[in-house]
Structure 1
Amino acid sequence: MRLSWPEIRANAARFSEDWAGKGYEKGQTQSFYDEFFAIFGVPRKQVAVYEQRVRALDAGRSNGFIDLFWPGTLIAEQKSIGRDLTRAMDQALDYYSWLPEVQRPRYMMVCDFQRFELVDLETRREWRFPLADLKRHVEAFGFIIGVQPRLFRNQSPVNRRASELMGRLHNALAADGYTGHALERLLVRLLFILFADDTGIFERKDQFLTFLEQRTAADGRDLGRWLGELFQVLDTPPDRRQRGLDADLAEFPYLNGELFRERIDMPAFDHAMRDMLLDASMFNWGEVSPAIFGSLFESVIDRVTRRRQGAHYTPEQAILKVIEPLFLDDLRAEFDRARALRSGRERALRSLHERMAALTFLDPACGAGNFLVVAYRELRELERELLKELLTVNGQVELVTDVSLLSRLNVDRFFGIEIDEFPAMIAQVALWMTDHIANTRLAEDFGQHYARIPLVTAPGIRHADALEIDWNEVLPAERCSFVFGNPPFVGAKYQTEQQRAQVRRLAALPGSGGTLDYVAAWFIKGAHYVAPHDAHLGFVSTNSIVQGEQVAQLWPTLFRAGVEIAFAHRTFVWPGRAAVHCVIVGLAPRGNEPAEKRLYSYVDGKGEPAETRHSALTAYLFEAREVDRHLVIKEESRPINGAAKAKTGVQMIDNGLYTFDSTERARFLTEEPEAAPPI
């Protein structure tokens, strides 16, 4: 049985690591190609020979020897590292012309151990790439295992335009009357399928794209039916599928009983909608970035809804400003200390690994899941480095028989609450995608394919209003390690009656509930959630909660809950689309806060911040060296110095009746010169 493409890519990653920096033509060529063919599970000696002699057509030229020759298929010319590959290709072309017609190959390759150049003489397609990128180009060598590469249109890396294409499909279907839950579920499934099509979850790369092109009608009339059948196949284990199932559908793997379980009514597609899906399929979703999910979210919900809910996609740089001082910097520092130990190093590394595996995370305003995705990605990357440290012997990473036993981290340690169903679904799928990317990287390091399908474990994303439910229902506080996120930005004047009532209830403020921004409600609820336990919290916020009258309305409540400021970013300009000035505040249970509080300050709210360390910080985000850190400036209804109460100052509310221009002023003062001082 031939190897799967994911297994081949894992082998290629190992090959690239083993041969990095090597490259002596005379002494290493044969070892290089024996191991190269082994990437594909094909013994080189079964198909190709070394030093094949060829007779020159020109009697005045000497005969040649092909470094590696596969009759009818491949000529390979090998050079030492750094040598001229253009001359090597010219030499290979000479050998090609000297061969009998029946032996002339379709493919020609030149290589200097660190660079590959491959040409398909039939289609004139060329590949050029470094050794380190071999795993990304193994399908160009499909002929080794009897698979001829398909010719595709150029595929671009996934970017904002890809998300806009999905948004166009969403809007086209909605305009045609296909809306609501079914539309959102359809779009999320397609998002995951497009990702699976480019990352080895499906057996063949572009399997879904090929299916669309070859099996669906150009006018789109049968696309809905085919997608419905595909969803059922992806939800059905192979041993439960019908024997007479369509052969192309039967090639798709079983993914899980969660993402595709629900049966939804399928839409009627047309020619334009089918083209939109094909265009989206042309992007390389394997180069996925967490930013894509937030931008996809923004592209399909209207601006009015975003403003009402205060929803803003969170860029990655803002996320890192929260999670690095909240927990990531400490974990990285512990990792650096552990691997530097001379004695007890392995024990310290394994202890850190156990600690990382026990962590749990909650984003109670998770949106499309960007905070959870970036946090999980960074933790998996740190785990990968840790595992390489543990399993490197004499400079070589040891191969393992079962890569799945290495990773201790999984998406079921990540929890979120989101008021809108569509971004909640995206958050779940985004974490599965991030998990697969991390598993692929781990497999590349340890030489074995690793994919967690079917998708048995799932993140705990709850579709609900975070201010109306008990967060303990999603993740009990005693099991929570860190709370983070970017709660909604809605000023007091823009809140709905329901939002204002939620803030008033949680802040226990009389009357209208003061002037607190909506985000304050998350700080209050979060403080009561983490304070009795060992969890820490970090939120992005509008900077109004650390300025003016809001400080006295909010911070005494937080301090009474039992939390202190652990770190903070002073005012900075929001890096996304929203024109908002923000702060980031980290809270820790009193008595369990770090000894040094980290404070990040910006010049004009832009650029990189300067970090300072302090023993305590006030609610106004300055050092509490000579003042009580709980000090706030309260609003008073009467002057505290006994002066007369000021009611309303001078206001221009006379509709112009008492307003003079310069001519009128001069004429009036001529008649009433004693009026000059008040004027």
Structure 2
Amino acid sequence: MEKEQSAELAMLFSGVKNAGNLDYVTGWYKKAAEYIQGTQIECAFVSTNSICQGQQVPILWPNLFARGVHINFAHQTFKWSNEARGNAAVYCIIVGFSLRNRTEKQLFLYDDIKGEPKAQTVKWINAYLADAQHVFIDSRSSVLDTQTNPMVFGSMPNDGGNLIIEENEYASFLQQEPEAERYIRPFLGAEEFINNKKRYCLWLLNAEPQHLKKCPLIVARLQKVREHRGGSNREATRKLAQTPSLFGEIRQPESGHYLLVPSTSSERRKYIPIGFMNSSDISSNANLLVPNATLYEFGVLTSQMHMAWMRTVCGRLEMRYRYSAQIVYNNFPWPDISEEQKAAIMQKAQAVLDARAQFPDSSLADLYDPNTMPPVLTKAHAALDSAVDKLYRKAPFPDDAARVALLFELYGKKTEALLTGKRKRGRG
């Protein structure tokens, strides 16, 4: 009977490979979990990787686990080229599950850097396809550790391109209007930051009106900003026409340093290139920022510990990492440290920046390409990784899977402590 049911199930769900959207894929998983109730049937899907990433995990998987489902084997994200016209690529996972909980499970860990899987026998496979107990990383609007500075998007011009000065315009613009130099700042999207491309913007916050009147090219651009915003079909944008000299959304810190995290980064890199930036460099909303950051925050976030967390819980654009404040940063379990430990991390973080500075003509894309990463930078990162690892435990971590398992455990403890605190305050 079970063989017949298994065959019927395979036929029923054979269409999953043609799933056109996420709702359709998750529906097959839910239907399979319902179908196998009261049986020993084991089933598996090759499906889009999104269901085990980001915000989708706490939506789908608690429902499946509540039905008694156990993941018994899985393969992390891989690229599958099919026979469609143009040899279209789909980014897939394989998930095998049943109501029977195997004591030994098979997990194929995919190494983004090497581009190959590695089979492991594990005791746990959670919804993120990690060797760790079940936790669900919900979207969080504020940081889990309240002593940590919040992460925000960069500033958005909403200007029709009129506050932006491209590299090929820069020299001509200044030649015609030298008075404008005081208002021109480097403007960094993710593309410019990673690839060392030049782009500029007019940053007119607190600009003196009498100075602006001496800059007819600026005034002409502001008129175009006003017209662009005034013609919008969105009321909020039309209101911005009243202040054409300002970006539509301003989140740039006015002083000090900030961390710049590109929203999207290549999966080939061992580390997301994170910037420790001066406030005079304006970041666009293609990046995420941590204002008023120190070298300590830079050191922890650019470490292998944080990268392992990011790779596990983030969403992806195809295979590329999509960094999210709500999922990745706000839920990251920071270690409890002493001032002495903090100083040591800051010293090693500075060594990473110093190593980068030795190659002023190389972009971050060059520096963090696994084939061209300079040995001095590799060595600096390794020292930083070791120091950050020791903030979490004394024994070395054998691999990223062990790092992630500990971070999930720590996340569970920290969230439970938050809930306990809320219950106590409620009773009070």
TM (norm. structure 1) is 0.23
Greater strand share, 1 or 2? 2
Q: Which has the larger radius of gyration?
A: 1
